[in-house]
Amino acid sequence: MKEKIRALREKTETAMRETETGRALYELKTRFQAELKSIMSGMKDLPKEERPAFGKLINEFKEDMEAQFEARAAVVRQKEMEAKYAAEQIDVTMPGRQYRPGALHPITLVKNQLIDIFSGMGFKVFEGPEIETDYYNFTALNTPKDHPARDMQDTFYLAENLLLRTQTSAGQIRVMEEEKPPIKILSPGRVFRSDDDATHSPMFHQMEGLVVDRGITLCDLQGMLAEFARRMFDASTKVRLRPSYFPFTEPSVEVDLSCSECGGKGCRLCKGTGWIEVLGAGMVNRRVLENCGVDPDEYTGFAFGMGIERIAMLKYGINNIRALFENDVRFLEQFR
């Protein structure tokens, strides 16, 4: 038994001197206690007259080793604290970390401003799904499968009748199906088209509006757009309507604003014309109203749609749409 105790002492003391962490010392103490318990279990095999002496020897050994463990634990704790202080040492001569304030993205800024402008005119916001059916995105908007106007925009199809919406006009159809006139909604959101160059992106943001009521005319549309231009840009901005074609409006118009850079005199931005095209609009086609269960003989309406990126580029003088999606901090911090 004495040999086992001596062997356990030597092994434990050697291992104790090599421990460098509190965790390792704890695991060593656990193993020591298990082996000591195994030795103590052999007391029952000793003659009765030898048991008191063995018990005394075990207790003295146990107390001595406990003291050694406590002493080593104090040394290890001290080393760990010194290592921690060294790792967390602060050089007070170093410059502090600067946290630059964040800001809304220019697209978000313009989107919020547009919503504020049109909400002030009585529009309510409706956001439809980005994955649309062929019916809501095309057919209900007077663009059936064999309509040549479908060639005007390449589309990301997910299945035969499911696609990433190419316009937020689909939301207008959903509202007209669910609500009765008068209707006055604004439909912002992301749209997707297979198009990519300096002024186009395969994903961009649109803001479309719809008004349906009795006696709505093209003059109402022009007056509303004039107010939008005045509040979005400046009071001197003028609005011009040019005849155009869209399958879901008739008559249809392209909407130009006087160039904010030159005041309509002609410059590089407006290509010398004094005008910049900003959106498309028109009176809601009778067939679209009929598709939604609205009587076109009783109600008329107008619709308009604009690219939020387009408005942001004009408002902030951005010449490449990719700058809005590259997340270049040098560009974005200009909008703080």
Cα(316)–Cα(312) distance, rounded to whole angstroms? 6
Q: How many Å apart are CA 127 and CA 125, to the nearest integer?
A: 7
Distance, CA of 192 to CA of 154 (rounded, Å): 9
DSSP for 164-214 reads E-S-THHHHHHHHHH-PSSEEEEEEEEEE-S--BTTB-SEEEEEEEEEEET
Residues at the binding site are 250
Strands 203-213 and 300-307: antiparallel
CB pairs under 8 A, 24+ apart, for 290-297? 291/139, 291/140, 291/142, 291/173, 292/140, 292/173, 292/176, 292/177, 293/176, 293/177, 294/176, 294/181, 294/212
CA distance 278 to 244: 13
Binding-site positions for Mg(2+):
250
